[in-house]
C-alpha cells in the first residue's frame, strides 16, 4: 500500500517530520572538534507512503512512534566520533530508511557553531518521494 497510488478517498500520503532537534555530537576534523562535542541540529522527514487517513485504532503500536525515531537520530549521531558531516548524514539516512514502513528519507544536519558568522548544513534525500 505504501508505494501504490490512492484508489480511494480514505488514504493520503503521510510524512513524519522532526524539526529542530538539537544536541551535541562528536563531529569534525579540527582539533577543538575532536576534543569536545559540537552542537548540531537535525531535521528529518520520513515518507511513509499512502496511509489511511486514520489508523484502524488509536494504539501507538500500530503507527511509527516518533519518540523512537527521535531516539534513533540521537543514538546514530552520538554513537562515535565522525570526521565528516557527509559520513554522519549518510549513516543516519541509511538507518532511518530501515524503519518499518519508511519508503523515503530527507535529512538535514547543521553544525551550529563551526563559524562565528554562519552555520553549515548538509541535506540528503533517499528513497521514494
Decide if 54 is inside a domain.
Answer: yes
Task: Tell me the residue range of the domain where 60 lies.
Answer: 11-127
* CATH code of the domain covering residue 29: 3.30.1130.10
Residues 17-28 pLDDT 10s: 999 999 999 999
pTM, two decimals, is 0.88
pLDDT at 123 over 70: yes
Give the number of domains in the chain: 1
pLDDT at 1 over 60: no
Instruction: Please give the biggest Cα pair distance in the chain.
Output: 57
**Residue 30: its pLDDT value, please?**
87
Decide if 1 is inside a domain.
Answer: no
Decide if 3 is inside a domain.
Answer: no
Decide if 112 is inside a domain.
Answer: yes
- Long-range pairs of 107-110 with CB within 8 A, sequence gap ≥ 24: 107/42, 107/43, 107/44, 107/45, 108/42, 108/43, 108/44, 109/40, 109/41, 109/42, 109/77, 109/85, 110/40, 110/41, 110/42
What is the pLDDT of the chain when averaged over all its residues?
A: 92
Indicate the pLDDT class of residue 106, thresholds 50, 70 and 90. Answer: very high
Decide if 123 is inside a domain.
Answer: yes
Amino acid at each position: 500500500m505504501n508505494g501504490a497510488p490512492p484508489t480511494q478517498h480514505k488514504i493520503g500520503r503521510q510524512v513524519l517530520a522532526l524539526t529542530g532537534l538539537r544536541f551535541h555530537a562528536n563531529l569534525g576534523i579540527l582539533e577543538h572538534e575532536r576534543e569536545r562535542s559540537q552542537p548540531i541540529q537535525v531535521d528529518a522527514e520520513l515518507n511513509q507512503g499512502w496511509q489511511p487517513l486514520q489508523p484502524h485504532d488509536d494504539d501507538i503500536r500500530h503507527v511509527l512512534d516518533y519518540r523512537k525515531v527521535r531516539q534513533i537520530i540521537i543514538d546514530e549521531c552520538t554513537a562515535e566520533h565522525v570526521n565528516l558531516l557527509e559520513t554522519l548524514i549518510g549513516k543516519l539516512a541509511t538507518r532511518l530508511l530501515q524503519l518499518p514502513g519508511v519508503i523515503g528519507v530527507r535529512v538535514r544536519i547543521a553544525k551550529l557553531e563551526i563559524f562565528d558568522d554562519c552555520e553549515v548544513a548538509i541535506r540528503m534525500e533517499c528513497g521514494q518521494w
